[in-house]
Amino acid sequence: MSKKLNLLFVSILVLGALAACSPKAQLTSPEHNRSLSVNGIGRVTIIPNMATINVGVHSEAEAVTDALEANSAQANAISQVLQKMGVEEKDIQTSNFNIYPNDRWNPMTGEVEGRYFAVDNTVNVTVRDLSTLGEVLNAVVEAGANSIYGITFNVDDRSAAIAEARDLAIADAKVKAEAIATSAGVRLGEIISISVYESSMPISVYDGMGGMMAAETDVPIAAGTLSVVMECNVSYAIK
């Protein structure tokens, strides 16, 4: 019986050794690991039809209630003027509101002589009729705005331009991939992965200009053109 068990054990060892020496089947075909990645860019030029103005009101007073009251009065006056000019209430949105104390220093002695409170109220105003933009700027300054931080031009509906720029980006990537494949002596296969994203930003101008500067000019502000830029990354299998 012991001889039979020994013979069976030896047979199992031999079979295990043969299995270890036999070639293993590859789980994935080598060509599936070969790929080519390219970037594509698509650009569409459009004309802006709206603008957003960042309007600020700054008030100071010894008492916080006085500073707040003065600031609120100026902000309400601006809102009323804008609505009279046809700007809808939904297009006037508060973006920042701060109340903070400041020390009043004596420039001669360098000592603190008192304290006052400052109130900053900033609103984003959307102007949908660009022909009135210059008038709106003058009106908000006359109503009490003492700073205009910037104007951003945009379009109310970018979907069509984005779709066109996306198609151009993908087509650009394909042209580049075909050219590279030809140079490398390979053929393009199916798309393995693709990612698309927008890299353009609205046009911003007038940054850092104070309100009084805006009030002193009646020259229309040119919106120019806006570029909608889409970029993509496409990976192709290659044969």
What are the boundaries of each domain within the chain? 50-156+209-218
Could you give the CA distance from residue 229 to residue 231 in angstroms, rounded to a whole number? Answer: 7
Helices 64-84 and 133-142: crossing angle in degrees, nearest 10, is 150
Could you give the CA distance from residue 112 to residue 127 in angstroms, rounded to a whole number? Answer: 44
Closest CA to 82 of 31, 42, 141: 141
The DSSP element (H or E) to which 181 belongs, if any, is helix 159-184
Q: Token digits for 127?
A: 């102007």
pLDDT single digits (tens) 103-118? 888 888 878 788 899 9
What CATH number is given for 50-156+209-218 in this structure?
A: 3.30.70.2970
How many Cα atoms are found within 13 Å in the side-chain-facing hemisphere of 166?
11
- Sheet of 35-46: strands edge to edge? 35-46, 226-238, 188-198
What local confidence, expressed as pLDDT, does residue 212 receive?
40
Say which DSSP state 206 is in: S
Note the pTM of the prediction, 2 decimals: 0.66
What local confidence, expressed as pLDDT, does residue 205 receive?
62
- Residue numbers in the chain where pLDDT is lower than 70: 1-32, 203-221
pLDDT single digits (tens) 185-237? 999 999 999 999 998 777 666 444 444 444 444 545 677 788 999 999 999 99
